[in-house]
Chains A and B, each alone.
Chain A
Amino acid sequence: MLDPALLVPALLTLGVFSILYRENPVFRCIEHVGLGMAAGYALVTIVFNGMLPRLVAAARHPGDMAAVLLALPLMAGIAFTALRRNALGTLGVTIAAAIAAGFAVPGLVQNLILEQMRATMVPVGLSSDAGFDSLVIAVCVLSTMAYFSFTREPRGIRGLAAITGLYTLMISFGASFGYAAMSRITLLIGRFLFLLRDWLHLVN
C-alpha cells in the first residue's frame, strides 16, 4: 500500500530526475521551489537564532555593555548590506574581519602549518611500513614543492622532481575526485532507497 503522504516527495524526486532525459519546465519549477524553500528556511533560522536575540537583548538591557557591544556589529552589518558601503557598515565589517583574523591566525599557523610540518619531518626508511610511508610522504612533499619552484627552468633532476610533483598532485586530486564521485552516488542511493523502500515498499 503506497503511503499517500509520500506521494508529493516521490513525485518531486522523479521530477528532478526528469532533467536526465531532457530539459523540461517541471524540473525548472521544482528546482526553483526547492531553492526558494531552502533560502527561506535558512533566512528564518538565521533571523530568529542570530539577529533577533541579539537585538532584543540589547533593547531589553541597555545597561548591559556586553549585549550592546554584541548588537553594534550586527546593526553595522545590516547597515552595510542595506545602505551599501557606508562608513558605519564598513567599520563594523572591518572590526569583525579583524577579530576573526586575530582568532584564526594562531590556529592556522599551529594546526595547518606547524603541525603538518612536524608530521612530515619524521624518520624515513625502507625497513618498516611507517618508515616507508614517511619516505613516500617526504618524496611527494619535496617533489610538489619542486613543481611550484619557478626560479629556474626545470631540467635534469629538477625536471624529474617537478614531473614527480605533478603526478603527486594528480594522484591527490584524483583521490579527492573519487571521494566526490562517491559522495554524489551516495546521495543518489539515498533517493533510490526513498523511492524503492519508503514509497514503493520494494525493499525491506
Chain B
Amino acid sequence: MRISYLGLLASLSRIDRRIIYLLVACAVALPLLAASTTRLIPAEESQSFHRAIAQLAEGETVLLAVEYNAGTAFELEPMVVTLVEEVFSRNARMVVSCFDAQGVGLVEETIAELAAASGKTYGTDWVFLGYRPSAPGVIISLATAPYAVFPRDHRGNSLSDLPLSSSLSGYADYQLVAVIASGTTAQDWVIYGTGRFHAPIIVGLGGGIGPTFQSFIDARTITGLIAGLRGAAEYEQLAGRPAEALRALSAQSTAHVLLVLLIVVGNASFFAARWLERTPY
C-alpha cells in the first residue's frame, strides 16, 4: 500500500503541463470574480515612500521619471496613478520625463487623464518633457542643464514659454524625485542622480528587480521603495486610495499559494520517483 501511495505521488511528475496552466488560470480568475480584497501591513520602506509624498507642500515641484511600456504597464501604472493623484491633491506641481521609448504615449495619456480629473492645467501644474535616448545623459542634464536635452516638451512647446518650466535650472528646482521604473533606469538614477539632486529620491520598481534595491534603502541612498504589485497595493492603502493594485492582490496571493504547493508537490514527486527506482519491490 505504501508503494502505491508513492507511485501515485511519483506519477504527478508526469502530469500534463496544461493542467497546471489551467490551475493557475483558475487561481487568478476566481479571486477576481469573487472581488475579494486584502488588508496589508505596509513595510517600512513603503511607509517612507508615502511619507516623502505626504510631506510635500503646496507649490513644491516633483520630478517624476517613468519607465514602463505596454508589457509592464499593469505592474507600474497603479503606482503612477496613486502618486500623481496624491501629488495633485496637495497642489504640488510635477515635471514628468519618460525613459522608455515604447511607453511615451501611455505615460502621457495616463497623466493627462489624471490631471484633467484633478482640474490641473498643463504648463502650470504639470509638464511632460517626453523621451530622450540615453538615461544617464538625461539624468545628468535634468540636474544641471535641462534645456540642453529638453529645449521643447513632448507637445512641441518651448519650455521657456510654459510657466512651470520657464525657470527650470536643475537640481534645485525639485523638492522630491520619484522614479517609477521596470528596468535598469532606476539603477541609473542611483548611480547618476544620487548626489546630483539634493532632493530625496523615492523609487517604485517592477517586481523582478525589487530585492536588489533593498540594500539602497539600508544604505539610505534612496528614501522610499515600493516593489511590484504588493508595493503598489501597500502604497494605495497608505494613501487611502484603494484601486487596481489592492484589487488584484488577492488573485496574486492565491496564485502564489498555488505555485508554492506545486513546488512542494513537484519535489515530493521527484523524491518519490527516485525512491521507487531504488527499491526493488
Where the two chains meet, the residues of A that have a C-beta atom closer than 8 Å to any C-beta of B are 20-21, 38, 41-42, 45-46, 49-50, 53, 57, 66, 100, 103-104, 107-108, 110-112, 115-116, 118-119, 137, 172, 175-176, 179-183, 185-193, 196-197, 202-204
Contact = CB atoms under 8 A, between A and B. Distances in A.
Contacts of B208: 176, 179-180, 183
B230 A182 contact: yes
B195 A110 contact: yes
Given A186-B75, A203-B33, A111 B207 contact: no
B195 A45 contact: no
B156 to A, nearest CB: 11
B264 to A, nearest CB: 14
B241 interface: no
A182 B221 contact: no
Interface in B206-255: 206-212, 215-216, 218-221, 227-230, 244, 247-248, 251-252, 255
Contact of A186 (B137, B207, B216, B221): B207
A186 B218 CA distance: 27
A183 B207 contact: yes
Size bracket of the B interface:
35 or more
B126 interface: no
B137 to A, nearest CB: 8
Contacts of B101: 41-42, 45-46, 49
A111 B195 CA distance: 9
Nearest to B20: A20
Contacts of A188: 24, 28, 255
A49 B136 CA distance: 16
Interface of B: 18, 21, 24-25, 28-29, 32-33, 35, 69-75, 101-102, 104, 130-133, 136-137, 140, 148, 151-152, 154, 190-192, 194-195, 206-212, 215-216, 218-221, 227-230, 244, 247-248, 251-252, 255-256, 259
Contacts of A66: 148
Contacts, number: 145
Contacts of A186: 74-75, 207, 228-229, 248, 252
Q: Which of B29, B73, B151, B209 has the most CB of A within 10 A?
A: B29
Contacts of A53: 151-152
**By DSSP majority rule, is chain B's interface helix, strand, loop, or mixed?**
helix
Q: Which of B24, B101, B140, B195 has the most CB of A within 10 A?
A: B101
A49 B33 contact: no
Nearest to B131: A49
A185 B219 contact: no
Nearest to B259: A181
A116 B215 contact: yes
B90 to A, nearest CB: 28
Nearest to A172: B211
A151 B261 CA distance: 42
11 contacts: A21-B18, A38-B102, A100-B137, A111-B219, A119-B218, A179-B228, A182-B228, A185-B256, A185-B259, A189-B255, A193-B248
